[in-house]
Amino acid sequence: MKVRVRFAPSPTGFLHIGGARTALFNWLYARHTGGTFILRIEDTDAARNTQEAVEVILNGLRWLGLDWDEGPISGDATGASKGDRGPYFQSQRSENYKRRVDALLSRGLAYEHEGAVKFKMQREPVVIPDLVVGNVTRELTDREKLDPDFVIVRSDGQPVFHFVNVIDDLEMGITHVIRGEDHLSNTAKHIALFKAFGVEPPKYAHIPLILNIDGTKMSKRDKGASLMTYVEEGYAPEAVINYLCLLGWSPKGNREKVPLKEVTELFDLPQILRHNARFDLNKLHWLNGEYIKDMSSDRFHELAVHALARIGIDTNRFDLEYVKAGLDTAKQKVKLFSEVPTFTDFYFKDEVELPAEMIQKDFPPTLKPSLQKLRDVYAQLPSFDPDTLNTTLKAVAVELGVSVGVLVHPLRLAATGRTIGPSLYHLLEVLGKERVLHRIDQALAKMG
């Protein structure tokens, strides 16, 4: 039997990091087994669901690289989809649900009660065979013993989550339900519904919850709960994916950095850990730095250009080789792509900003002759390579009888407008003689 798994988020705000991990584990299992990964949007809660929230889910999965085999192509609920088991928006499946409710009513397995429809729940305990948790026996609680039946259609005509979830899984041929452990308590109801339709339930695998580093449950308000946080703060998708893999699953050899291709080959449901996973932002930050360090130049350029574009810097105005050379000077310096502008934005500005307080503090009038001398000597250089720039500056410092730092600090500020950045002589080489001399002239003009 070919594996068919699904990720079924509700579009109510943002893609939670726990939801992203659930999507990832489903995707991994589908890819590991050669199965099908389905995206289904559970948008029956019209009051809370929005078009924008659907886009957030789709774009979040695309950013992570989790492609789906069946599901909506766009966030438009009336738009096209891929796959023959759709529609993949629950809001478009109301006829399916009505037909299934009628079937239960006609067979006496459900009944109307005070305007709602209730399902006749079995009284005996339900055994839930779980591929992660093991066999779980669910007995009726004392309250449920008084009234074990549960509502499947509310009095306003809306079918409830438990019901539509099962119908969609049934009609889409889902073979494995991989979801958070917080859904385990619902599973007895789901198994009973499957059996009422004469269908064998899918295999269940309830994965551990993601907790904060202090052991508390991660809520929507906690830092790092939203996937968009990692997009905006400049994490590499491959680092986030790698880290999510480690939340509830572990490769052999106690390794941390594992390529997705290798994870896909190794991943299987029985390997998922039982204990809850703690989300350690510092570990993710470290892992992201490792990914950047080992990243190909082309991939680094791609993500760095996106980081610059997010703050309004258009690198398309510049020669491609110049852009690449400038970005390369920052590759070993940054741990997040949000840090790229700090280390590279000066390459892509026509004028360097030198605030009045910086001029007053770092460019005193007494420095002007020394900086002018350096500028004049640099103007005569036949080669503008790092070694020549370095040895020339040192020679000028000796001639003037000052320390190297007296020239290095104002030179960096004049060229970049910043006190920190890439290697000074390498960034000067990338900027080129014409830009560097022009920027020194600008600084000299502002000095008293």
DSSP for 141-175, written as a single string: PHHHHH---EEEE-TTSPBPHHHHHHHHHHHTT--
61 vs 22: CA distance, rounded Å: 11
Dihedral of CA 331/333/336/339: which sign?
A: negative
Query: Following CA atoms 241, 246, 249, 253 in sequence, which dihedral angle do they give, to the nearest 10 degrees?
Result: 120
Question: d(Cα 174, Cα 202) in Å, to the nearest integer?
Answer: 6
220 is catalytic: yes
Closest CA to 272 of 433, 69, 130: 130
CA–CA gap between residue 177 and residue 161 (Å, rounded): 15
Catalytic residue, chosen from 98, 145, 217, 220, is 220
In 40-183, DSSP assigns E strands to 71-72, 81-82, 110-113, 116-119, 126-130, 134-138, 150-153, 176-180
Whether residue 373 is annotated as binding a ligand: the answer is: no
Decide if 274 contacts 133 (C-beta within 8 A). Answer: yes
CB 407 within 8 A of CB 395: no
Binding-site residues from annotation for ATP: 220
Binding-site residues from annotation: 220
Which residues are known to be catalytic?
220
